[in-house]
């Protein structure tokens, strides 16, 4: 997988589907993202989504445009799209966690007066929650 000309994008939205439908969406996205060279992670709070995708610029732009039009969610709001030197989600084509408390971090970002610090915080929550959940899966004690 070539890592030049890479973009990362993060958005938030409100779900219009239930948890089992989200599970289906995630498993379809997993293989799709693998084929596209996309990595990333998504939080589902039970009612809100926050997702980061990263990969070759064309692939990220195309996928974001597609996701924005998907009627399984509403209120799509892009918070970040920027070049990155390397992947943060190298090990996950579609990391996925259910995290009800993340509502608190996502809700303020739907307002017009959100701050870059709030975006940075959500980005960090996303990454650490994906890393932690997969660590638990992989390292039973
Ligand atoms: C919240 C949400 C997240 C999504 N994330 C992805 C994703 O990471 N990868 C993906 O291929 N499709 C994702 N989709 C689905 C796309 O919108 C689209 O249905 C899918 O890429 C298949 O498109 P196609 O049938 O035109 O190939 C997501 C949809 C929603 C509602």
Distance from the alpha carbon of residue 138 to the mean position of ligand 1, in angstroms:
26
Mean local confidence (pLDDT), 120-133: 95
| CATH class label, 6-138 | alpha beta
pTM over 0.85? The answer is: yes
pLDDT by residue (tens digit) across 55-85?
Answer: 999 999 999 999 999 999 999 999 999 999 9
Can you tell me the mean pLDDT for 29-34?
94
Boundaries of every domain in the chain: 6-138
Cβ atoms 37, 1 nearer than 8 A: yes
Q: How far is the CA of 141 from the centre of ligand 1 (A)?
A: 35
C-alpha torsion sign, points 120, 58, 31, 4: negative
Higher pLDDT, 1 or 134: 134
Which of 57, 49, 74 is closest to 9 using CA atoms? Answer: 57
Average pLDDT for the chain: 92
Strands 95-98 and 39-44 come out as parallel
Give 135's pLDDT tier (boundaries 50, 70, 90): low
The SS3 call for residue 78 is strand
């Amino acid at each position: 997988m070539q890592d030049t000309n890479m973009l990362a994008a993060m958005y938030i939205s409100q779900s219009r589907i239930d948890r089992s439908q989200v599970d289906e969406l995630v498993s379809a996205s997993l293989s799709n993202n693998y084929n596209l060279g996309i990595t990333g992670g998504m939080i589902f709070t039970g009612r809100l989504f926050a997702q980061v995708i990263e990969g070759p610029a064309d692939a990220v732009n195309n996928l974001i445009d597609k996701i924005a039009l998907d009627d399984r969610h509403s209120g799509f709001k892009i918070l970040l799209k920027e070049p990155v030197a390397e992947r943060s989600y190298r090990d996950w084509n579609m990391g996925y966690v259910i995290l009800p408390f993340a509502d608190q971090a996502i809700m303020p970002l739907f307002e017009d007066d959100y701050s870059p610090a709030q975006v940075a915080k959500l980005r960090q929550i996303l990454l650490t929650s994906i890393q932690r959940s997969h660590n638990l899966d992989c390292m039973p004690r």
